[in-house]
Chain A
Amino acid sequence: MNEFALGFSVAALFKGVVVTLLVTTGASLVAVALGLAVGLVRVSTLAPLRWLAVAYIEFFRGTSMLVQLYWWFFVLPIFGLSLSPWTVAIVGVGMNVSGYGAELVRAAIQSVDRGQYEASTALNFPRLTMMRRIIVPQAIRGMLPPWGNLLIELLKGTSLIFFITITELTTASKLAADATGNYLLFFAIALFGYYVIARAMITPLVRWLERRFSRGFIREAVA
């Protein structure tokens, strides 16, 4: 194995890891923010707002993420809107995942006990205050595990941004493997790379949030 090729490949690989981390973080923030917002609109009492949310969810969940990225990157410029690869990666991946996120936000909100809505009505809460103070804080607890899964999916999905010219972890591994001929080593690194990122970042974050939001639900947690 050529030492120069190896050194070059390792440096490129490291850069690929950083790119994957940055895009995953950015896209996750977009996915969570939009997922929460659209999920809340999805359970609004105003039908036209609900329809808008349904259309949003259907579009982002029902069509291919790669084709969506192509649209943002190659089709929007035809209409005069050119976005940088980074913008498309973060916003495009984030919006795609937010379609799934909105659905799990809706499910978590609707799974809060009816009695909580009724007690809130009896105490005369306006609907938005009820959602903010009573319903959503309880729903968050139920939505954290599925959000954890979704963000791990998002992490793995970021390899698609290769198609909009960004060299991330998978691409860097492929390039390194091609340059050195060591496919076993570099694809092993790629395989474990995603696992380690998920295990070291996403899972602990979700666990920590679960503990924070389980106050009042688990005896041990409040003793």
Chain B
Amino acid sequence: MSDPMVRFENVTKSYGALTVLDQLNLDIERNEKVSIIGPSGSGKTTVLRMLMTLERINDGVIWVDGEPLTHMDRNGTMVKASERHLRRVRGKIGMVFQHFNLFPHMTALQNCIEAPVSVLGLSRAEAEARAAELLDMVGLGDKKGHFPIQMSGGQKQRVAIARALAMRPKVMLFDEVTSALDPELVGEVLNVIRQLGAEHDLTMLMVTHQMGFAKEFSDRVCFFYGGKIAEQGPPDKLFNDPDNDRTRQFLSAVLEAG
């Protein structure tokens, strides 16, 4: 059996005295679509941020595509990853943020070209062709010359998705990517994610409050509670017949809120 695409092995993360994630173990298979749900503060964002190397972990090892991300091998012992090692392994991961984080001083097209040119070393023409293709795919072929400030939230988030895809990641992370959007713009972003899942070989890990989407889209749903996975399983099981009381309480609270 091949290695999982992502493996969290006994990963612990704390801020001072506060342990946010406690000995997390989680494997994500190649091309698997995994949704993370759970109450506020349960550590969902932290899981993605650790994988994106935006947070250091305190203990354990994160593996990506069969090799350690947070550590590296030096003469047979595992040591903390160097910046160089991080940069190599991190290249397999892309992330889309709740607040888009587009580069405001660049147009949609430039946003999607900058990293492929200056990080991957693509020629400008090559990067531009790929970026144009991706912007077409997310339905923004006519907005290439627009600055982020000239776009709606839904459009900005679709540019952010195209920008991440331009780096050809194997794993895509989505952290509540529709939470900052007006309700009528949520659908256009979810459609793009649906299309990605259907047409690309991508492992996807998403934190979401869109229970309907998580149910329809995911292969597996993980319910986080207090820095641990309280329950996980196929969406039908987890949403319709959860084993854990916490899951049941959380789902009924979320459903009540609408």
Contacts and interface: CB of A to CB of B under 8 A. Distances in A.
Contacts of A129: 118-119
Instruction: Label chain B's interface by main secondary structure.
Output: loop
Interface in A175-198: none
A53 to B, nearest CB: 21
A123 B105 contact: no
A216 B148 contact: yes
Interface residues of B, number: 30
Given A115-B99, A133-B118, A216-B148, A122 B104 contact: no
B147 A116 contact: no
A122 B164 contact: yes
Interface of B: 52-54, 87, 90-91, 93-95, 97, 99-107, 114-115, 118-119, 147-150, 163-164, 167
A87 B231 CA distance: 72
Interface residues of A, number: 24
8 contacts: A116-B101, A119-B102, A121-B52, A122-B97, A123-B94, A124-B119, A126-B119, A222-B149
B226 to A, nearest CB: 25
Given A124-B90, A124-B91, A125-B118, A215 B99 contact: no
A133 B110 CA distance: 11
B97 A219 contact: no
Given A118-B101, A124-B87, A124-B167, 7 more contacts: A115-B100, A119-B102, A122-B93, A123-B94, A124-B119, A125-B118, A216-B105
Given A119-B103, A122-B164, A216-B104, A222 B54 contact: no
Interface of A: 113, 115-116, 118-119, 121-126, 129, 133-134, 137-138, 213, 215-219, 222-223
A100 to B, nearest CB: 26
Nearest to B93: A122
Contacts of A125: 115, 118-119
